[in-house]
Amino acid sequence: MWSARRARLTRGLAFQLISGSLVGFLLATTIAIFGWSVALRHYLSRESKRELTNHALDLGLELKTPVAEGRLDAVQDILDRHALTRGTNQLWLGVRVDEDWVTQSETEAWQDLKPQQLAVGDGLFTWEEQIHPAHSAGVIALRYHSDEGFSVLIVEDQYERNLLRRQGQLWGAFIFVLVAVVGTGIGWLLSRRALKGVKMLGETADLISVNMNLKSRIQLPTGTAETDRVAVAMNGMLNRIRELVDFQKNTMDDIAHDVRSPVTRLRAIAEQALSEQNSEWAGRVIGECDHILQLVETLLEISAAESGIPNWNWVVGDPAEAIEWAPEIFEPLLEARNLNVSSQLERGLKVRFDPKVWQRVVANLMDNAIKFSDLGGQIELSLCGNGTYAVWSISNQGPVMDPQLATQLFDRFRRGEQSRSTRGSGLGLSFCKAAITSMGGEITCQSKEGCTRFTIRIPLVNHEEGET
């Protein structure tokens, strides 16, 4: 059940639109966040170098006089004051005068620092980034060579910079997730609204195909201009189909009325003639009238079934009963043509049908098999269930049917060359098709290698439905 629902969901247009848009959005957002991260890193690095450069210039300007006067204690006081403004764990300051180093007083966090090896170079400013044992985030070193002959070395811990960069990345990820969730929700709502018309089209088509309800129409507006146009076209098509069906029904009713009335009068005259002892001709007239009346009634039943409004008594029952009695009912005709009947019938199957209509279907196909079987041939009856359908087949040994005729066999008044010498109306198979279709099933015919087989499939009814 869940796999079927999941398959329907993933094949849905809404899911495909949203998933496609979401994948594209996520890809674009991932690229944007990666670019944001790289840009943020470069920006923070540039700002860090700019601040350190300004700091080095200010410090060099302040140290110019004490260094020139040789007051190293004043130099250290200046370094301590600058270090305290940022924190001695965050910043290390040192000044090289000739070959001697003067550093800030607090160097506990920088015990393994080797200033003589950092940012070595001949330019005005030299830079170097490295990992320090006590500073897991790494450090950046700037050496400033003053024109007065001393150099200033500033080493800064990168923890705060990295923390700021991580916060920027986290905010970017949060915005990414937020936009993805909100975008998905909004996209789902918009797609549902946009596909409302498509859903209405599908529901109307289901009503028509399952229930033959030609009165169903799509309500406007459907949500989008495109589906509105499709809905208008479909409603117009349904109106036209309904008009054609009504025209066909009215035409058949008129024909039936026009034929039934004179035939009824003719039969009354024949009955009167029969009562006056003119039995032979009167009997033949009555027989012909009955045949015409039966033809008209069959046409009306076919028309009603094809229109989806048959006046039948639907019940849930076992189709095997009517099949089982068929050989006994047709026993005289079977003996006349020396035909044998074999049956393999599964009992206990439940289908929804009209028992009288089903008996007529069985009788029509049985009569058809007898008429077109070779003398001394074999007729096989088989009924079984495959979990979804009850499958009944009837086959007879006889001449192979023309393939073109097999495709037109269920049309009204369609008769093959071999059947023209036998009595019949050409409506038997048309009635069978209309009846089986109204039951939700199908009927097919195959003719090859001296065997013609008719197969009927009718949906099985589950246990709960069978009890109701």
- How far does CA 225 lie from the centroid of its chain? 23
From the list 105, 81, 88, the residue with the least C-alpha distance to 155 is: 88
Residue 184 belongs to some domain of the structure: no
Looking at the structure, do residues 263 and 327 belong to the same domain, yes or no? no
Determine how many CB atoms are found less than 10 A away from the CB of residue 268: 12
Query: Bridge partners of 284?
Result: none
What is the Cα–Cα distance from 226 to 222, expressed in whole angstroms? 9
What is the Cα–Cα distance from 184 to 178, expressed in whole angstroms? 10
Q: Which of 106-115, 164-173, 324-333, 341-350 has the weakest average pLDDT? A: 106-115
pLDDT in tens, 256-279: 665 666 667 667 766 776 666 666
Residue 395 belongs to some domain of the structure: yes
Looking at the structure, do residues 153 and 289 belong to the same domain, yes or no? no
Looking at the structure, do residues 324 and 432 belong to the same domain, yes or no? yes
Ordered alpha helix ranges (H), 195-278:
196-211, 225-275
The tokens of 425 are what? 């109306």
Q: Which residue has the higher pLDDT, 21 or 325?
A: 325
Residue 197 belongs to some domain of the structure: no
What CATH number should be reported for the domain holding residue 247? 1.10.287
Residue 91 belongs to some domain of the structure: yes
Looking at the structure, do residues 320 and 460 belong to the same domain, yes or no? yes
pLDDT in tens, 144-179: 888 888 888 888 877 777 777 778 778 877 877 787
Q: Which of 94-103, 411-420, 435-444, 459-468 has the weakest average pLDDT? A: 411-420
Looking at the structure, do residues 35 and 160 belong to the same domain, yes or no? yes
Residue 377 belongs to some domain of the structure: yes
Looking at the structure, do residues 334 and 418 belong to the same domain, yes or no? yes
Residue 213 belongs to some domain of the structure: no
Q: Which amino acid is at 51?
A: E
Looking at the structure, do residues 39 and 59 belong to the same domain, yes or no? yes
> Looking at residue 12, what DSSP letter applies?
S
pLDDT in tens, 114-134: 777 777 777 788 877 777 666
Residue 269 belongs to some domain of the structure: yes
Looking at the structure, do residues 15 and 146 belong to the same domain, yes or no? yes
What range does the domain containing 386 cover? Answer: 315-467
Using a cut of 0.85, tell me whether the model's pTM lies above it.
no
Looking at the structure, do residues 230 and 266 belong to the same domain, yes or no? yes
What CATH number should be reported for the domain holding residue 22? 3.30.450.20
